[in-house]
Amino acid sequence: MNTVKRAVIVAAGEGKRMRPVTLTTPKSLVRVNGTRMIDTVIQGLMTNGIGEIYIVVGYLKEQFKVLEQEYPNVTLIENPWYDSCNNISSLYAAREHLEDAIITDADLIIRDPRVLAPQFAHSGYNAVWTDGRTDEWLLTVDGGVVTSCSRTGGARGWQLYSVSRWSRSDGRRLRRHLEIEFEERHNWDIYWDDVALFCYPQEYRLGVFPMEAGDIVEVDSLAELAALDPSYRKYLDEVK
């Protein structure tokens, strides 16, 4: 059994699909019914005893400094490539902290902290089983091991969520692969998840951390934000 010792929270993006709200506020610092989304992530990690937390910042990075004051166990890492590369650049910036780590996006609402539990048998992703059709990334699992991933979704599979755990050996392996893709191949337009799932799938034996729909809420757009918090409905009229 492996145990998470640290967390990397990816929070460098511009959140373009949530404009105009994110023109002045980073997406993960947007308040939903009074609470910043990133607070639910940090507090969920702390509830599980994960106290070494790194947050990768880029867009409007100065606004994140308050988190270091509010949470003494938080360290900010700057991603200088956030506006020219995909999020592979964020994990590359935090590559020294991937062993025994949980990696998560910052723009989530954690409704059940148990989904961030530190114990895990195999490196892999939080996922929800779905029988119906989804357009989200969908994992096929055989014998507890991920055998394939569909970027375009499908039916009857494990819907991937942006929370993953990495053992010491897999974290070390992930760092090496990130360095190859980013430094040598200049593969800057991919998601960091592509590294293990598509670039080097034969070198990992990933599993899934099962959870229920609704345990984590991913907020990807202005419409989804307004559905959760009616105070943002006024912005929907502005972007029509």
Q: What is the pLDDT of residue 102?
A: 98
In a domain, 173, yes or no: yes
In a domain, 208, yes or no: no
Give the count of domains, the chain: 1
Question: Whole-angstrom Cα distance, residue 143 to residue 237?
Answer: 49
Q: If we measure between CA atoms, which residue out of 111, 91, 122 comes closest to residue 209?
A: 122
In a domain, 136, yes or no: no
CB 132 within 8 A of CB 148: no
In a domain, 212, yes or no: no
76 φ, ψ (degrees, to nearest 5): -90, 140
In a domain, 140, yes or no: no
* pTM of structure: 0.96
In a domain, 210, yes or no: no
Domain with 35 in it: 2-121+163-189+220-238
CATH of the domain at 70: 3.90.550.10
In a domain, 115, yes or no: yes
Q: What is the pLDDT of residue 237?
A: 76
pLDDT per 10-residue tile (average), the chain, 240 residues: 97 95 97 98 98 97 97 97 97 98 97 97 96 95 95 95 98 98 98 97 96 94 96 82
Can you list the pairs that 149-156 forms with residues at least 24 positions away whose Cβ atoms lie under 8 Å? Answer: 149/197, 149/198, 155/130, 155/131, 156/130, 156/131
Beta bridge partners of 123: none
Q: What is the pLDDT of residue 78?
A: 98
Q: What is the pLDDT of residue 239?
A: 59
Question: Whole-angstrom Cα distance, residue 28 to residue 35?
Answer: 10
